[in-house]
Amino acid sequence: MAHPVPSAPGRRTNPPLPSAIGAHVAPAPHSAPASLPTVEEISAGGVVVDTSDNELRVAIIARLNRGGRLEWCLPKGHPEGRENNEQAAVREIAEETGIDGRILAPLGSIDYWFTVSGHRVHKTVHHYLLRATGGELTIENDPDKEAVDVAWIPIHELARKLSFPNERRIADLAREVLPEHL
């Protein structure tokens, strides 16, 4: 069962379309001029948990924002070709963290707005809870080279480590539903 996560204000005027615009941009205030063209962007990713011991660690990545500040976040990215959101989440997590996973449950979606290159972007990110099934922690397979670091974080510390409030809510939800899947 999907658990909804509160989303940012705004209303979708067009169906979501994948876009390659803006991987490292700061959120724009909602007062951005309405005259800017709006692009809908979809990503998928989530919380991949190592359940091999009682520590229950989660793989997260670090990225540099446009200001050069390090931000820890959940791995995610755009669906490619005919991928659905679940397939994209599994692939993106493997590319950005080196960890293969199997989806256990959907965790809900978050959305936010930002501006870049004269466009207003409305991004929706679909999150899933995954059990780690193999791989080694690395950023070497990230084709976009967006991730600058990767780490295993105990699930009980995850919300304190993540940079963004919406992702911290996803982490809290993952921690809440994980016992149903162990």
pLDDT one-digit tens code per residue, 152-176: 999 999 989 999 999 999 999 999 9
pLDDT for 9:
37
Rounded distance between C-alpha atoms, residue 89 and residue 76, angstroms: 6
What confidence category does residue 3 fall into, taking pLDDT thresholds of 50, 70 and 90?
very low
pLDDT for 146:
85
pLDDT of residue 15 exceeding 80: no
pLDDT for 5:
42
Give the Cα-Cα-Cα angle 21, 125, 58 (nearest 5 degrees).
Answer: 115
Share of the chain above pLDDT 90, in %: 66
Rounded distance between C-alpha atoms, residue 18 and residue 8, angstroms: 19
| More reliable by pLDDT, 80 or 65 | 80
Q: For the segment 92-145, what is each residue's pLDDT rounded down to a tens digit?
A: 999 999 999 999 999 999 998 988 888 898 999 999 999 999 999 999 888 788
pLDDT of residue 48 exceeding 50: yes
pLDDT for 34:
59
Rounded distance between C-alpha atoms, residue 78 and residue 81, angstroms: 10
Element (H, E) at 93: helix 85-97
Rounded distance between C-alpha atoms, residue 96 and residue 114, angstroms: 23
Contact call for residues 14 and 40 (beta carbons, < 8 A): yes
Enter the pTM of the model: 0.78
Rounded distance between C-alpha atoms, residue 119 and residue 121, angstroms: 6
